[in-house]
Structure 1
Amino acid sequence: MRITPLLFLATTLAANADTPVPVPVTEADFRQIEMARAELGQLLFYDKVISGNRTIACATCHHPRFGTSDGQSLALGEGGIGLGPSRTADPDNLPEQRIPRNAPALWNLGAHEFTRLFHDGRLEKDASRASGLRTPLEDEMVMGFSSILSAQNMFPVLSGDEMAGHYEENEIAIAVRQGIITAPGGAWDKIAARVESIPDYRALYDQAAPETRGRKLEFSDVSNMIADFVAFEFRSDDSPFDAHLRGEAPLTGAAKAGMDLFYGKAGCADCHSGPFQTDHNFHAMGEPQLGPGKGERFERHQRDIGRMRVTNDPADRYAFRTPSLRNITLTAPYGHAGAHADLAAFLRHHIDPVAGLARYQPQAVLAPFDAAKPDWALLDGKEEYAAIAAAVTQTPVALSQTELADILAFLGSLESPTARTGRLGVPDHVPSGLPVDQ
């Protein structure tokens, strides 16, 4: 009997009837991107002209060499020099602090199901808002963003620690400090004006985005192109796991055993469900806290209470969004604060978060930096770590070393063979003439 992909899928589902093995993804699961727009977005993604001091690009913290993250637990944005784990503080322009959370990977964010972004989900689709989005800007939110992925781009460029720059270092930083963001002449206008002032960009917009002809560029025009590039470049659905689901090349050996555990006994799919291994929900998993924490500048604490910062619901304390596991083998360190540098250690922590937190020893990847708030200030504070542990609701799962190794093998099957290079890759140069992070 001929084994067709459909018959193979039916057989696989029947053999794993007690597990929610997903169906293969298709073109219908993704936004369709025009190539000219993706190519323009590629240049903007790698161009440092959109940062306040012209020293940081989107790619600085989301580089394909590091799985679309940056290889550090907590990045050094403004005031950092270099790329990836070797990035360090600029002695002539020291950062104010580390970025409070680990730089998330960008895989498959062009898929329709990604409707919540950031570790705490503070940006999400909301049909009740005029803009269709719920964001921290609320009433100041403007129209024109083509997708939630495009709207995501508006936050890093406004952060003094990430891209805008500090105090009065540049005109964008000044506008941000004054709270002039969306108004005419505000921070977004100034970023768009920089792009428009470069003739090559203006010509590319006239070709790729005819809707911008005859008017000045707006920030949403810049953001939309970057989003189209990310959606195209970092689409990842050609892994061995995808081939398995499509009936093209069945998983075997440890990877197959790990898949059965993942969707069965280990219970991983309770949260890491669906085709991209995420339920897009929020869970308290007892992750160690390090770095400056997430708070306002005037707050002295170093806590990060996760989703509760958005909802003010105590039930959401220390809960963070379930990340997709696509290409997870490339995206270390792991956790909202990057507390785990090793995937096996992260997995051992996850199957019993309370015990994992109790035995945790620092293994983060942090650039040398004499921060005002010590990186591990909370590690010695029993009260905060007890609160993190108390928020965990997951029942521990007992797995043998062999079973853990099998799950790691399955996670390896989620890696795309093209993930390390991307589709368009890193451009040799960008229209601004600024150096490109290779």
Structure 2
Amino acid sequence: MAQPITAEDFIAFDADQARLGQLLFYDKILSGNRNISCGTCHHHDLGGSDGLSLGIGEGGTGLGPRRTPGEGPDRIAKRIPRNAPALWNLGHKDVRVLFHDGRLEISNIYGNGFDSPAEEWLPPGLQSMLAAQALFPMTAQFEMAGNTGENEVIGAVTDRIDLGWPILAKRVRTIPEYGQMFVDAFDHIDRSEDVTIVEIGNALAAFIGTEWANYDSPYDAFLTDGTPLPDTAERGRQLFFGEARCAQCHNGPLLSDQDFHAMALPAFGPGRTRQWDPIPRDVGRMGATDDLEDAYRFRTPPLRNVALTGPYGHNGAYTQLRDMVRHMADPVTMRTEWTPALAALPQVPWLQTIDFVIQSDQLEMARHAATLDVKPVSLSDAQVDDIVAFLESLTGVSALDLPLGRPATVPSGLPVD
């Protein structure tokens, strides 16, 4: 059985910084071409995600499943390589690793508190993992930075990962409304000229860490005061923590061991390739550690509000929670039976040749399929339905009515998705 969550389990963020972070989260000024925000792929209306298996990032238009890949020279050049992760309860004090491959961890190896893709160039003063994490989509070409040659941010990032952040910080602090909000929210900021990417990251973290703190689900009521779950969910709970063995990985207060496991999900998409990868593959944790033992292993996702955050898996292989449960129980069979219809992958004609090309590489597919960290569990259709009912009982009563929500406008004047 998981542990109950209380308010004391979360980092204490400043409310004024959270209100500032809300505006920044939905403001496209933080993207290289001023055309996409954090909220585009982590939207309130979509459970803090985007409803797509692999997102349509910089260059696309619209929101969620209705988002289109753009056209002409501004159209997307690549799908986002991984599914947009959910934001629920990331301000919990137990969170110690972020991103699907765990490439952001608490560590002082570089003298700034974190082991991150920015290494020693991550600026000091970031007050939480969330603050550090918030900075990296701004440096990613296909997420927020834009394509080479399109703007000064991507040009700077191409030279070195941290060089785009001062450009974005200047954009923000020179807007009078933002400048004054930073002075009001941060004790050490006496004038707008003092604002750096560090304050922007800390404000975004304050918003994410408070807005998506949610632990008022029927299961939380069961944990705290013994309120019974519906019969189907109770049967599912017993399976989850018992013979289905889900809790071997999904344990602790967040229902995640925050470790990395190979589950043989079907491979598709552009892959999160490394510089020396000859094919569009995704080696998971190995991409962060360069350790062969970590190949094809991905972080165990937390499960509270999981019913709101499909598609599922590091690449969104399944839109339906039921199918994901079936895959976790029997990865080999489900991988064999998988078809693209089970994912939410909008048609992008100029990318179709790359979407599934990895599946024609027999050696890579053999390595991928052979790396599996679980033994199959035989579950009947009724048992799968019961586990899904339990997972649905993890949805918070207030999960779709969060404290701040989406702002109608932002200080830059740019449109809000």
TM-superposed deviation, 1:297: 5.9
1:61-120 CA deviation, whole Å, 9 max, x = no partner? 101211111011111111111110111111031111111111100100000111100000
Match of 1:228 in 2: 206
Q: Quick one: which of 164, 176, 189 aligns to 1:199?
A: 176
- State how 1:345-384 maps to structure 2 within 5 Å: 345-362=323-340, 363-369=342-348, 370-371=350-351, 373-384=353-364
Whether 1:98 aligns to 2:79 is: yes
Match of 1:79 in 2: 59
Whether 1:209 aligns to 2:186 is: yes
- Maintained 8 Å contact 1:305/1:319: yes
Task: Tell me whether 290-299 or 105-114 shows the greater mean CA deviation.
Answer: 290-299
Distance 2:327 2:210 in 1: 33
TM-superposed deviation, 1:46: 0.6
Q: Quick one: which of 285, 289, 297 aligns to 1:307?
A: 285
- Maintained 8 Å contact 1:329/1:411: yes
Distance 1:372 1:355 in 2: 26
- Whichever residue aligns with residue 353 of structure 1, its letter is P
Distance 2:121 2:180 in 1: 30
1:301-357 CA deviation, whole Å, 9 max, x = no partner? 111110011122222110000001111111111111111111111111110112221
Distance 1:342 1:383 in 2: 29
Task: Tell me whether 350-359 or 402-411 shows the greater mean CA deviation.
Answer: 350-359
- Maintained 8 Å contact 1:64/1:419: no
Whether 1:24 aligns to 2:1 is: no
Whether 1:397 aligns to 2:388 is: no
Q: Secondary structure at the match of 1:89?
A: coil
TM-superposed deviation, 1:368: 2.1
Match of 2:273 in 1: 295
Q: Quick one: which of 291, 296, 320 aligns to 1:318?
A: 296
Match of 2:94 in 1: 113
Q: Quick one: which of 221, 237, 254 aligns to 1:276?
A: 254
TM-superposed deviation, 1:298: 6.8
TM-score normalised by length of structure 2? 0.96
Could you list the structure 1 runs, at least 4 aligned residues long, displaced by more than 3 angstroms after superposition: 296-300
TM-superposed deviation, 1:372: 7.1
Distance 1:380 1:178 in 2: 35
- Whichever residue aligns with residue 273 of structure 1, its letter is N
Distance 2:24 2:282 in 1: 32
- Maintained 8 Å contact 1:53/1:169: yes
1:230-253 CA deviation, whole Å, 9 max, x = no partner? 000001111111011011522130
1:5-54 CA deviation, whole Å, 9 max, x = no partner? xxxxxxxxxxxxxxxx1221122210112211111110000111111111
Larger radius of gyration: 1
- State how 1:133-212 maps to structure 2 within 5 Å: 133-179=114-160, 181-182=161-162, 186-212=163-189
Q: Secondary structure at the match of 1:130?
A: coil
- Whichever residue aligns with residue 426 of structure 1, its letter is R
Match of 2:34 in 1: 54
Distance 1:296 1:161 in 2: 15
Percent identity of equivalent pairs? 44
- Aligned residue pair count: 413
Distance 1:207 1:133 in 2: 28
| Structure 2, unaligned runs of 5 or more | none
CA RMSD across the alignment: 1.4
Task: Tell me whether 60-69 or 124-133 shows the greater mean CA deviation.
Answer: 124-133
- Maintained 8 Å contact 1:52/1:170: yes
- Maintained 8 Å contact 2:269/2:280: yes
Q: Secondary structure at the match of 2:188?
A: helix
- Maintained 8 Å contact 2:221/2:227: yes
TM-superposed deviation, 1:213: 1.4
- Maintained 8 Å contact 1:116/1:125: yes
Distance 1:235 1:398 in 2: 35
- Whichever residue aligns with residue 283 of structure 1, its letter is H
- Maintained 8 Å contact 1:65/1:421: no
TM-superposed deviation, 1:173: 1.5
TM-superposed deviation, 1:128: 4.1
